[in-house]
Chain A
Amino acid sequence: MSFSDPNETFRQEARELLEQLELCLLDLEHTPGNDDLVNSAFRALHTIKGSGAMFGFTAVAAFVHEFETAFDQVRKGQTQATPTLIAVALDAKDHIAKLIEHPDQDHDGSDAILEALRATIAGTDVVPAAPKAATPEAAPAQDAPAADPGRWRIRFRLPGDALVYGTNPLLLLDEIKAIGPCTITALTDTIPSLDIIDPEVPYLGWQVDLEGPDPHDAIDDVFLFLKDGMELSIEPLAADTATPAAPEVTAVEEAPVAASEPVPTVAAPPAAKPARTAKSGEAEAGGGERAASSSMRVDAERLDELMDRVGELVIAQARLTQIANMSSDGNLKTIAEELERLSSGLRDTTMGIRMVPIGTLFSRFRRLVHDLSRDLGKEIEFITTGEDTELDKTMIERLADPLVHLIRNSVDHGLESAEKRLAAGKSAHGTVRLSAVYAGAEVAISVIDDGAGLNAERIRAKAEEAGLLAPDAKIAEQDLWQMIFAPGFSTAKEVTSLSGRGVGMDVVKRTIDGLRGSIDVSTTPGQGSTMTLRLPLTLAIIDGMLVRVGNGRFTIPLAAVEECVELPEGIEANARGRNFLDIRGSLVPFLRLREVFGTTAPPEPHQKVVIVSSGEGRVGLVVDQIIGNNQTVIKQLSKLHSSIKSFSGATILGDGTVALILDTSHLVAFGQGYVDQGRAA
């Protein structure tokens, strides 16, 4: 942590807060009156403002301040969170993101967005006479309905470590000024003599005489993150006692700076510590409903490193086990077993650390659908399920773009316009579902729409036009759907800003292939289509079943293995004929790996069949021997072997030799080709 760039820490922090803000805003659209959401959004804004100023992102802080001021109306219940307001607020949120990512660029847009925000709020304001003003001096208008012009005296002293943690008293005072007209006095009575002043300790206290209604809530907000350890008193003030205090400090703007030498030190807080404040701020921002769970941020790189080390440990352990098995030393065997148990536990824990619920990814798409819905004028209901499904972190990152493409495609091409839907007897609003479920060694992520479905004729015509398909060629429906992933393929009649340029789907396919995954397409004309991504759970270590084919040893991912049976003698004779097994009444095609791999070594008399599955399909793999189970550390094959599709990678066995890992989904697809051929013949 101590080496990280504080600005980067802030950015990361802010990104998360902005995400939280966005979610709140989107939820708010559906449940406009929800106070928890409003408060949560407000807290996120508040934290961004605070830490933004702390890290010198002044443009951000200024903008967020205005945003916050405007949004305060909603919090006070004076304005309803209308869809228009949410849309403007989302724009503002995007703008903050821009300000944070590119603080050096021009930000002409700020004023326009704020103007829009204020206008929107004013438009629905129940107190239209009190428009928001940019300057704190004018701000009191909002809170001065003149019903109860009370006077209050607030006295506070910051905790001794406040400056160290990057609190800027000036900003706090600014916030108090925004509550209502006030006079601020510095309490200098506790300042020690110059020689013992510690520049990082806030010796000054403040007395604020504030006009307005009961300020307790507002003040609580100001000191949200400082309450512990600070002195704070709020007392009502009789009208006459307040006046004398006023003349003491009239130049409120300059006074605090002049009076307090310690303040400027805040500008250069120690690099590491602000992160801590920001962190606790975030925890608080999460609200009371989230239990205080302790967590820490770790570099993804370190996790990768940890995974590599565990991989090496697993390999070393496998070697030890092998040696122990050959030895007669009981102690050695015991240690080897113990180590095996430990290393497999360590493996699971390490992989667990890398697993992230896919919900973090799904939530991003709500905004996408929201925007698409607005831009295309289609009403869309977006439903996500299976957010708890966990996937390797790297995988989740790389899935974002493909899913964006698929969702866009569903919304743009899949869902029809409201008129067409009504004409087809469907509800006016379309539904897009995003779901994730575990399926064996894989996770299946589906994008399901209830739109028009894929149009076989149009895809065919387009494929022929693009020269991907001969005009009279016969093609299975499944293969035809796969055409949409060919480069340069697009059936959209017009090119919209979102899709239809024919780039995207081929990129989706390539990315998923790169993750050792596959894409299934199914569609029902008039009722919608489903795109399912099947992905391996992890990229690092799997449980494998070691088999022998000829002289070679190969690993089959254990999670894909359904069962092992002996190859019946009778089938042996029919070597080049149809290769099917009858597994409890269902026909399963099988591949003789000896043939696939061109093995010349003499076959075992009793061949075994390992039945593996991927998605819906199953295939039997005929091997010479089943050796046993092992932990498999997956190593990628180099480019020199990337063209050989039967293998997804390689691993190192206990004796130090390399074994290839079979790509089950490829082999299943290959075996299913068998089935189709068998039916055609």
Chain B
Amino acid sequence: MSEIKAGTMTALTLRLQDELFAVEAESVREILDLVPITEVPNASPFVSGLINVRGRVVPLADLRVMFGMDRPEPDEDTRIVVMEVTIDGEPTVAGILADKVHDVTDIEAASIEEAPKVGMRWRPEFIRGIGKRNGGFIIIPNLGRIFETQGGRSPSSAASEERSAS
């Protein structure tokens, strides 16, 4: 998750609600149709599920949680993008829920701008940059940071266990 290098970034574009996102195509392993999701009780809503990817148990993340979006039920366009992400320095395979997957495209590095520090609905550290294409914006999320904040303790699990113990 280094800075975007000069030249172009080959990216997979996907849609979360009304926004277009781009992730580095290099770290994408595969794209799956929706598979049965096992809910993990007491996990944070961001990584509340587990899926079976070719015999491996892989956590499923919902980026919409981190960007404060609505989370409607999955429909026929919903896909799971299986990616390699680095969590606390360890490469981990994780699935990302996408409302729709578009295509693989090159984004000119020159067109990518830093996320503005103010005037944004989202936490700026979750965004590496914002690119432009066909007159629209593409958000490039900082997956490293997003997953890192979830790698530690999830406060909800401890709280709920305490509650049921009392």
Q: A residues engaging B (CB < 8 A)?
A: 312, 315, 551-553, 591-592, 595-599, 635, 637-641, 643-647, 650-652, 655-660, 670, 673-674, 677
Contacts and interface: CB of A to CB of B under 8 A. Distances in A.
Given A652-B57, A673-B165, A674-B165, A643 B50 contact: no
B161 to A, nearest CB: 7
Nearest to A576: B166
B17 interface: no
Given A639-B90, A656-B35, 11 more contacts: A312-B55, A596-B161, A637-B59, A638-B58, A638-B59, A644-B42, A652-B55, A656-B36, A658-B51, A658-B57, A670-B161
A621 to B, nearest CB: 13
Interface string B33-57: 0011011111100010011100111
A575 to B, nearest CB: 11
B41 A646 contact: yes
A659 to B, nearest CB: 7
Contact of A641 (B52, B55, B59, B161): B59
Given A640-B147, A650-B57, A657 B52 contact: yes
Contacts of A656: 35-36, 52
Contacts of A551: 39
Contact of B38 (A639, A660, A674): A660
Nearest to B55: A312
Contact of A552 (B38, B47, B152, B157): B38
Contacts of A637: 50, 57, 59
A677 B166 CA distance: 9
In the complex, which of the residues B41, B147, B164, B165 has the most CB atoms of chain A within 10 Å of its own CB atom? B41
A174 B41 CA distance: 73
Shortest 10 CB-CB contacts between residues of A and residues of B: A597-B41, A658-B38, A635-B57, A658-B50, A650-B57, A640-B47, A657-B36, A595-B164, A643-B153, A640-B59
Nearest to B38: A658
A658 to B, nearest CB: 4
B151 interface: yes
Given A598-B41, A644-B154, A658-B38, A639 B52 contact: no
B157 A643 contact: yes
Interface of B: 35-36, 38-43, 47, 50-52, 55-59, 61, 87-88, 90, 92-94, 147, 150-154, 157, 160-161, 164-165
A650 B55 CA distance: 11
A644 B40 contact: yes
Contacts of B51: 658
Contacts of A657: 36, 38, 52
Given A641-B43, A644-B40, A656-B36, A635 B147 contact: no
Contacts of B55: 312, 315, 652
A656 B50 CA distance: 12
B40 A647 contact: yes
Contacts of B39: 551-552
Contact of A640 (B35, B87, B160, B161): B87
A439 B40 CA distance: 30
A640 B92 CA distance: 9
A663 to B, nearest CB: 12
Contacts of B160: 596, 598
Contacts of B151: 639-640
A370 B31 CA distance: 60
B21 to A, nearest CB: 20
B42 A660 contact: no
A596 B41 contact: yes
A640 B48 CA distance: 10
A658 B52 contact: yes
A598 B57 contact: no
B59 A643 contact: no
A623 to B, nearest CB: 13
B129 to A, nearest CB: 25
Nearest to B51: A658
B26 to A, nearest CB: 21
Contacts of B47: 640-641
Nearest to B42: A644
B36 A640 contact: no
A316 to B, nearest CB: 9
In the complex, which of the residues B39, B92, B147 has the most CB atoms of chain A within 10 Å of its own CB atom? B39
In the complex, which of the residues A312, A651, A658 has the most CB atoms of chain B within 10 Å of its own CB atom? A658
A598 B164 CA distance: 9
A679 to B, nearest CB: 15
Nearest to A635: B57
Contacts of A640: 43, 47, 59, 61, 87, 92, 94, 147, 150-151
A638 B41 contact: no
13 contacts: A596-B41, A635-B56, A639-B88, A640-B94, A644-B157, A645-B157, A647-B40, A651-B57, A656-B52, A660-B40, A670-B165, A673-B165, A677-B165
